[in-house]
Amino acid sequence: MGQIGNINTQSLFIDAFLQNNRLDHVTQLMGYHPKYLDVFLKTQHFILRGDGPLPYDYRHYIAIMAVARHRCSYLINLQKQEFVLQGGNEKWLKGLQFIPQKLRDLYELNKILAHRPWLISKTHIERLTKGKESWSLSEVVHAIVLLAHFHALCSFVLGAGITAELDHENGHTLRPQSICHDCVSDSDDEEEDKPIKTNPPHTLTQEYESTVEVLLKKMRTLSEQARETSEQEMVKRFRKVESQTIELGISGATELSPPKADISCFIEDASFGYQDFAKRGQSHDIPTFRIQDYTWDYHAFSLVNRLYNDVGNLLDDKFKTAYALTYYTMGRNKDVDTSLFRSAVWNYIHCIYGIRHDDYDYSEVNQLLERCLKAYIKTVCVYPERTTRSDYDSIMRDFRHSEKIHVLLMINDAKMQAELLYALRAVMTYMTG
């Protein structure tokens, strides 16, 4: 999977500090993967501060609306500060009832995109672009990108257990990664890749060692097999994995207490949440999203670039970096082709959202992803606010900490891409009548 890279990490940290007047915990944790951090920072900077149709205060308030759906107080606090710095009306921070009608009109799209994006239709786009407080299509697309970005970032923040910043309530600093690892040799043999936040003991028992060996053997076997499978069988295998996601439930399945007042003021219809795509109704009136019918590369990319200049290029770089990132390691094993494992993670995330890749054999998901890892991925995707530290500790036990972070990066980007595919398909359907 991955290991700590120290190339350019320090300069990226400096750039992030100059942009944000702080080196936040998200940046520090993503610093394990500087290539990804580079494209992430460029993308986030562009959608919040670059050229675009939405005013700067709107951008940060939309971010607040997005992260409130997952009760991510860490990101709410950061975006509140940015909103004020951009000259935002502090009265709006009292809650949704104090904001302009135009922003309130966005809330339904925000709610559905966060939890059940397959329900988004051209009607939702049409409602925003009609009436007195109407949105332009370019504004709608900018808002969609912001919402999807921050919904996904909640999964990264809560999945990794990122804590409040030093200047926020209950905040504390992290052990800086740059101090510990900037001088590590390229081989990475001398320094254990340890968690940044609390550094629990990293023990490798024979049981865990054999687990990664079993995974490596499975990958070797799969890569050596020449299989011809009928389309009908491929669909059947997808359906099996899809139905199994229902059985998994949520790893932190206890009911959440009502959100605190400083979060609930940004939430409407708090009970609305994820519903397993396979449970979408006996009639299956909402069909599976076949990726070949509306792809990122050939459809969504060109549409988003046309309506919101240049953002498609940044998003494309970020998605490709998250998917293709590899250091050819897995735990303590080197020279490993990790592509099968990465494909299983990415395609399983899309499966959770009802997206099927026709050319992918979903039997590989069950062969390569342990049940506890699948449960963790599902929880972090759809109910990140329920993720616990024990969930994080229980997965991929003989992998490096940076490799777990890499899985979280894939969750971040595959989830964001899934939301964008559904929303941009609705935009295209609206535009073509």
Return the SS3 of 210.
helix
Note the Cα 265 to chain centre separation in Å: 24
Q: Which residue has the tokens 């690892």?
A: 181
Query: If you ran DSSP here, which 8-state letter would residue 200 be given?
Result: -
Contact 53, 142 (CB under 8 A): yes
Beta-bridged to residue 289, according to DSSP, are: 355
Q: Say whether 72 is catalytic.
A: yes
Round to the nearest angstrom and report the end-to-end CA distance of the chain. 44
Angstrom distance (rounded) from CA 94 to CA 265: 7
Angstrom distance (rounded) from CA 184 to CA 321: 23
Active-site residue identified among 72, 154, 351, 381: 72
Angstrom distance (rounded) from CA 85 to CA 417: 30
Angstrom distance (rounded) from CA 72 to CA 333: 36
Contact 46, 310 (CB under 8 A): yes
Query: If you ran DSSP here, which 8-state letter would residue 330 be given?
Result: E
Long-range CB pairs of 311-318, under 8 A, 24+ apart, other chains included: 311/43, 311/46, 311/47, 311/52, 311/142, 311/145, 314/39, 314/42, 314/43, 314/46, 315/43, 315/145, 315/420, 317/39, 317/42, 317/43, 318/36, 318/39, 318/40, 318/43, 318/413
**C-alpha to C-alpha distances, 152 to 20, 214, 405, nearest whole angstrom:** 20, 31, 14
Amino acid symbol at 424: L
Angstrom distance (rounded) from CA 130 to CA 396: 49
Residues marked as catalytic: 72
